[in-house]
Amino acid sequence: MSQSLDESSESLSLGHPRVVIITGLSGSGKSTAIRALEDMGYFCIDNLPVPLLPKVLELAASGPSHQEWRRLAFVVDTRDHVHLDQAQAMFDQLRDEGVSLQIAFLEAAEDVLVRRFSETRRRHPLSEGDTVRDGIRRERDHLEEMRARADLVIDTTNHTVHTLKGLLNEHFSSEEAPPLTITVLSFGFKHGLPVECDLVFDLRFLPNPYFVEELRPQTGLDEPVQHFVLGLPEAARFLGIFQQMAEFMLPMYEREGKSYLTIGIGCTGGKHRSVAMSETIGERLRDRGWQTNVRHRDVPR
């Protein structure tokens, strides 16, 4: 083991962070995996040179950010071919010193890896001027020991981005996944469709309070406008349909790993119908346990 590891390990405190090493074959989904761990709250570094690992752990254990760096994840793979042969011995020593370190090895069928490289048009790090298939076979040989000693081997051949993220969450999240955050956004179609919306509902089928003289200067935040809009039979029916759809769709969005969902509620000017309805929808979603924010884009216009 290099001297730098021995020197650095002396300063590691007893309060070691949790460490996940992502490794495996190029094209097997390591970038997806490290992004998934980042979403879980891990501090992540892709393509970390092996000799720097103890230095990062030293900083995490004793530096000013040690409370925020309680969970760390690193991608270590054949891109660091100069130091890769040191990796397994380093992992073993860190474990002996009390570091909670787990290794996840990602792989996939050879034909699938070839196809993925063809689709991305990236060079394989070990192709050495030969074919992608030759590079994949060299890489398997280089990583044979690391695969044999990994805590978790994941074959991503038949995984989607979402199912891989879910699997990693099961293994490496020490707490529940962050809840789906919903934003209900009122807007006026005459000012343009908000680009951030995932779902859009058009309320221009409802009678417009703008044409009621005493309601025109008010907005959907005012009680008279709310009574007008929500008292309409069509509005009540819409809310019932929306509730059924939300109860059907929102759990599936959450299951697929979506972190944020923006629901656009539009009317002509974005001041009356959409505002009153957005407030009601937001309140109903919160009552059912969903983390929900309500914003009104066009009320200040």
The fold of the 3-172 domain, in CATH, is Rossmann fold (3.40.50)
Reading the block at residue 78, the tokens are 């054949």
Taking the model in full, what pTM does it have?
Answer: 0.61
Segments making up each domain of the chain, as ranges: 3-172, 181-296
Q: What are phi and psi of 223, to 5 degrees?
A: -60, -40
Query: What stretch of H or E contains 103?
Result: strand 100-107
Residues contacting residue 118 through CB under 8 Å, at least 6 positions apart: 132
Of 285, 272, 292, residue with least CA distance to 222: 272
What span, in angstroms and rounded, lies between the C-alpha atoms of 96 and 142? Answer: 24
The answer to whether the beta carbons of residues 270 and 298 sit under 8 Å apart is: yes
Read out DSSP for 136-184? Answer: HHHHHHHTHHHHHT-SEEEE-TT--HHHHHHHHHHHH-SSPPPPPEEEE
Instruction: Report pLDDT for 58.
Output: 85
Read out DSSP for 277-297? Answer: HHHHHHHHHHHTT-EEEEEES
Examine the pLDDT at 4 and tell me if it is beyond 50: no
Q: Is the dihedral of CA 65, 70, 76, 79 positive or negative?
A: negative
105 forms beta bridges with 23, 153
pLDDT tens for each residue of 280-299 = 999 999 999 999 999 999 99
Instruction: Report pLDDT for 196.
Output: 86
pLDDT tens for each residue of 158-168 = 888 888 988 89
Tokens 């001297």 -> residue: 3
